[in-house]
Amino acid sequence: MNRVTVDREMCKECEYCLHFCPKGTILKKSTTVNKMGYYPAEAVDMTDCIACGICASVCPEGAITVEKNI
């Protein structure tokens, strides 16, 4: 299984990761705000994640870490 971790305190809710993920709905917004007042992206279901790393590459805040086959 692959793992995608979002540092919720670094996220500024730009939604790039949501839009660029080729699997569509893997990353969704949290229902609670972080310390900056943003609703951070969240990795909610890794079933379809192919660990392509696109989400991490497009994140302007460097908030996403992708780990393959852990």
Residues at the contact surface with ligand SF4, assessed by CB under 6 A: 4, 6, 11-17, 21-23, 26-27, 40-41, 49-55, 58-59, 61, 63-64, 66
15 vs 33 by CB, closer to ligand SF4: 15
Using CA atoms, how far apart are residues 70 and 37, in angstroms rounded to an integer? 32
Q: In 1-43, which residue ranges form alpha helices assigned H by DSSP?
A: 16-20
CB of 1 to ligand SF4, least distance (A): 11
Q: How many CB atoms lie within 10 A of CB 19?
A: 11
CB of 12 to ligand SF4, least distance (A): 5
